[in-house]
Amino acid sequence: MKLSSRYEQTSCRLVLEGLPDLSAGQSAQTIGILTGFTLALAGKTEMEGQRDHLQALIAVVLPYARQLLSGVARPLGDDEAAVAIRPQEGGHELELRSSQPNTPPLRLPLDDAELADLVRCLDRVQLDPGVAVPLTWPQPQPLRRAELRHRLPLRRRLAAPLTGVAALAVAAALVALVPPTPRPAASEPAAVSKPASGG
């Protein structure tokens, strides 16, 4: 029996279709084998795909959204990936690459609200107990040190190096104030007296 799960937000609709995986002991109402999905964004071409495409979508969209929340916008998805997302002026661009040869990639512009709706739909898939498809959900990764640097005030960024330079200057001044230790004078060898010879 074919099952479907539907997730809707204002500008996004995601529908998963599949079958229960009875061999894994799943309920007859649980999607354990994904046969396909459709993704519709308001005013844009409806997309269809298989499990690999959904996995590729999850792998780039969720980490990208987390980076945006941290104030870092960098593209995700390399040239070989089925899905890529990148910041664009005034929004974002979602690129879907077909596995069919000679098929140009589909590029969809998204504004912040559309991206947020897509993320909410994917989050609802992850939290849905009626979907047990073995998908890999990306774990939050800490930002790189260089990406955090711009978020610190200039005063805080300069504090550590300036403190180090000041401490070095104080140490050098203190060493210059210490008088040199006098060297002990070289002692002359004592004269050895010879006993007088008796005659």
Each residue of 46-99: pLDDT tens digit?
889 999 999 999 999 999 999 898 888 889 988 788 999 999 988 999 999 887
Residue 151 pLDDT greater than 60, yes or no? no
- Indicate the helix (H) or strand (E) that contains 123: helix 112-127
**Which CATH number is correct for 3-149, 2.30.40.10, 3.30.70.920, 2.30.31.10, 3.20.20.70?**
2.30.31.10
Indicate the range of 14-23, 159-168, 190-199 predicted with least confidence: 190-199
* Cα 184 from Cα 176, distance rounded (Å): 22
- What value does the mean pLDDT of the chain take? 83
Residues 122, 110: Cα–Cα separation, whole Å: 16
pLDDT value of residue 181: 72
CA distance 76 to 64: 7
Could you tell me the strand order of the sheet in which 3-9 lies? 3-9, 12-19, 33-41, 47-49
148 SS3 class: helix
Domain limits of the chain?
A: 3-149
State the pTM of this model.
0.69
Can you give the pLDDT at residue 109?
93
Burial of 57 (0-12, 13-18, 19+ CB in 10 A): buried
Residues facing residue 3 across a β-bridge: 18
